[in-house]
Amino acid sequence: MANDYEKFKRDVHSLTKIDLNAYKEKQMRRRIDSFLSRHKVVDYDGLISACKTDEVLFREFVNFLTINVSEFYRNTDQWEIMDKTVIPKLINRFGKNLKIWSAACSTGDEPYSLVMAFSKFIPLNQIKVIATDIDDQVIAKAKTGLYSAKSIAGVPEEFKKKYFTQIGDSFQISPDIKKCVEFKEANLLKDAYEQNCHLILCRNVVIYFTEETKDMIYKKFYDSLVDGGFLFIGSTEQIINYRTMGYTRFESFFFQKGDME
């Protein structure tokens, strides 16, 4: 079975350009086996064959592999730190023309949250967030901007009233917010990273990767930041050797490039 999985990883990469070597094997194999069982596919070869002929299954499999779970203002206490401390520090040091990158943005909840957070300090027409994800399906959903009540539960009431319109059981985000986000398809494991960023947000993504892959990603984020820029990570994540990389720990899940000012 181990040899089968090695072949399967090569087949998946050939088919989807997703490198399963970067993911924790035990965890990923367990998830894929559950996918096989759910779709009544006998083995890895059968799944690859089915994905080559069934476009719906192929897209579902890619979406399954990329593990998309997101919500607006996830972990609201951390967004309070962003609001009260990080954004003011960035504006005081760099002005209002900031480069903001939401990496592995999923369905758009977090880049749109960033726009709303910055709108307290900067006019919307001056805010620009670059949002990237490996999965074109979630990018399409993000561009649509239609969310459930559960997804927007953490949004401050002032923004819910100002930037969302209820349509049936769903909520449509304002075109004024959508205009501030540029969505791009990109793979953190192989594509070029954005450069000269003042703030990078990448949350609850690298937990699925091996330790070596995590280090590679965090080092690349460091290179992507300007001196004094911030990296905002998820509440389930940690950067154990952040000092070696050159980061200063600003708050629990905020890391700054270089020394704090």
Residue 208 corresponds to which amino acid? Y
Residue 70 lies in a domain: no
Residue 216 lies in a domain: yes
| Same-domain check for residues 49 and 118 | no
Residue 71 lies in a domain: no
Residue where a domain stops, chosen among 32, 65, 98? 65
Rg of the chain in Å (alpha carbons): 19
| Same-domain check for residues 215 and 136 | yes
| Same-domain check for residues 118 and 165 | yes
Say which CATH number the domain at 168 has: 3.40.50.150
| Same-domain check for residues 172 and 94 | yes
| Same-domain check for residues 93 and 176 | yes
Q: In this structure, what are the phi and psi dihedrals at residue 147, rounded to the nearest 5 degrees?
A: -135, 160
User: What pLDDT does residue 227 have?
Assistant: 96
Residue 92 lies in a domain: yes
Q: How many CA atoms lie within 13 A of 250 on its CB side?
A: 24
| Same-domain check for residues 51 and 121 | no
User: What pLDDT does residue 66 have?
Assistant: 65
pLDDT tens profile 172-217: 999 999 999 999 999 999 999 999 999 999 998 887 788 899 999 9
pLDDT tens profile 190-202: 999 999 999 999 9
| Same-domain check for residues 45 and 86 | no
| Same-domain check for residues 131 and 188 | yes
Nearest Cα residue to 258 out of 234, 223, 212: 223
Higher pLDDT, 106 or 65: 106
Mean pLDDT value across the chain: 90
Other Cβ atoms within 10 Å of 246 Cβ, number: 16
| Same-domain check for residues 106 and 193 | yes
User: What pLDDT does residue 16 have?
Assistant: 76
| Same-domain check for residues 154 and 201 | yes
What's the domain range around 83? 76-257
| Same-domain check for residues 24 and 52 | yes
Residue where a domain stops, chosen among 65, 93, 115? 65
User: What pLDDT does residue 47 have?
Assistant: 92
Is residue 69 pLDDT above 90, yes or no? no
Cα dihedral 41, 44, 46, 51 sign: positive
- d(C-alpha 210, C-alpha 61), whole Å: 21
pLDDT tens profile 121-145: 999 999 999 999 988 878 988 998 9
Residue 170 lies in a domain: yes
Residue 253 lies in a domain: yes
| Same-domain check for residues 81 and 59 | no
Residue where a domain stops, chosen among 19, 37, 65? 65
Number of domains in the chain: 2
